[in-house]
A = this chain, B = another copy of it.
Amino acid sequence: MTHTEAQQAHLPRTLTRDLAAHDGQQVRLQGFVHARRDLGGVQFVVLRDVSGLTQCVGSGLSLPLAESSVEIVGTVKAHPKAPGGFEVQIADFRVISAAVEPAPVEIPKMEWNVNPETMLDYRVVTVRGLKERAALKVQAELVAAFRDHLGTEGFTEISTPKIVSAGAEGGANLFPIDYFGRPAYLAQSPQLYKQIMVGVFERVYEVAPVYRAEEHATSRHLNEYLSLDVEMGFIEDEEDVMALENRLLAAIMERLKERCAPEFALLGATIPEVPTHIPRITLMDARQLVTDQFGHAVGGKDLDPEAERLLCQHYAETHGSDFVFVTKYPRAARPFYAHPDANADGTPSQELTRGFDLLFRGIEITSGGQRIHDHAMLMDSIAAYKLSPESLAGYTEVFKYGMPPHGGFAIGAERLTAKLLGIANVRYARAFPRDRHRLTP
């Protein structure tokens, strides 16, 4: 080993984002060849590591294919035109692992709107793209903020089964599993389990995949997605749950501002302000509003996608809010466990529930509400929904034992990520999406 090699071997690795602190010094970098250019006497390598890009310049190098992983030892020099303001002058260039084929697409030149299916076919390597990585990084921070904030409010994390004997919301849209020769299904929600766990920890959350065997292909649905689930006991009514979600979203956006400014900048997106009190409107009033203000007649019992978009436009314009709660959903648009709203005389409403949605930038990102905790009321509701009490017996059992008033909500992590970053198709907010036709990679 030469003197220089010995020095280099002891040189700790520097990340590209930390170059400014090493101006004029020798550093050791590791990463992937993001781009390269050979001008004969001079070679340029753009090195990509987890923290960013660095332009490196050398001579007499034999450059490997792009995406090869390499180690570079060199001197940091301020260079106004280089990305990040610094360049590394290469003293030693070592290929750690050479790419054996050119990548099927050039990573620095990928565009999401060109051949989206091809991009997903080659996802094992296209996921290295800067925008792809930024989206997944933002999602990781968003999920971490979700957990951390709930921890400060006394919530406990739980892990519930994804293999279930029946669906939480009836039998539709379930993927069947062969469980040792018995029929079983992939859970479409941890709903029933998180309610049960309110009896243990009072306030719980879960971050885990859920499954919807929906055949439609839209830009807003995934067949497998990451659900951020919350359930809270000893509440007065659904207002406690909405207030919690309001605080939670504020904490999430705060963390994204602290940690993900470069990712938002790269994607040309802005982090929303969360109002101290997110505006709310009942579903009935919301349907009326989009008809009156925009002339849009809403079909069905809920809001259609166009109505969601118009309602958000209205609240952005009139309240400066990217968020709006839509409350008091009718029973016809909610599952059997939704708690009825109270009539003026205090009796349970036959029509309305304490269920709500949260809309963000034109789309629903949350369904939530207060749940039925009274056993007799729950059995009545199961009958009214024409569901089988037997198939739900494992669930309803717990309501015999003093379940307190409780409610919660679920946020689809990919959908929130996509709307935050202006990603048109939710599949790009998941590393390896599953859709009607896509089982690989």
Contacts and interface: CB of A to CB of B under 8 A. Distances in A.
Interface of A: 13, 30, 32-33, 49-50, 64-65, 67-69, 96-101, 103, 122, 124-125, 127-128, 132-133, 136-137, 139-140, 143-144, 147, 151, 154, 156-165, 175-180, 182, 184, 186, 193, 196-197, 199-203, 207-209, 211, 213, 215, 223-224, 226, 233-234, 373-376, 394-395, 397-398, 400-405, 413, 430-432, 434, 436, 439-441
B398 A431 contact: no
B441 A394 contact: yes
The interface centre, meaning the residue of A213, A395, A398, A400 with most chain B CB atoms within 10 A of its CB, is: A400
Contact of A201 (B50, B122, B193): B50
Contact of A132 (B96, B103, B151, B200): B200
Contacts of A159: 139, 209, 226, 413, 430-431
Given A159-B431, A431-B159, A440-B165, A100 B178 contact: no
B180 A97 contact: no
A175 B165 contact: no
A30 to B, nearest CB: 5
A432 B133 contact: no
Given A193-B432, A402-B68, A161 B33 contact: no
Given A147-B144, A163-B224, A200 B402 contact: no
Contact of A440 (B30, B373, B394, B413): B394
Given A175-B178, A202-B50, A401-B67, A209 B96 contact: no
B405 A97 contact: yes
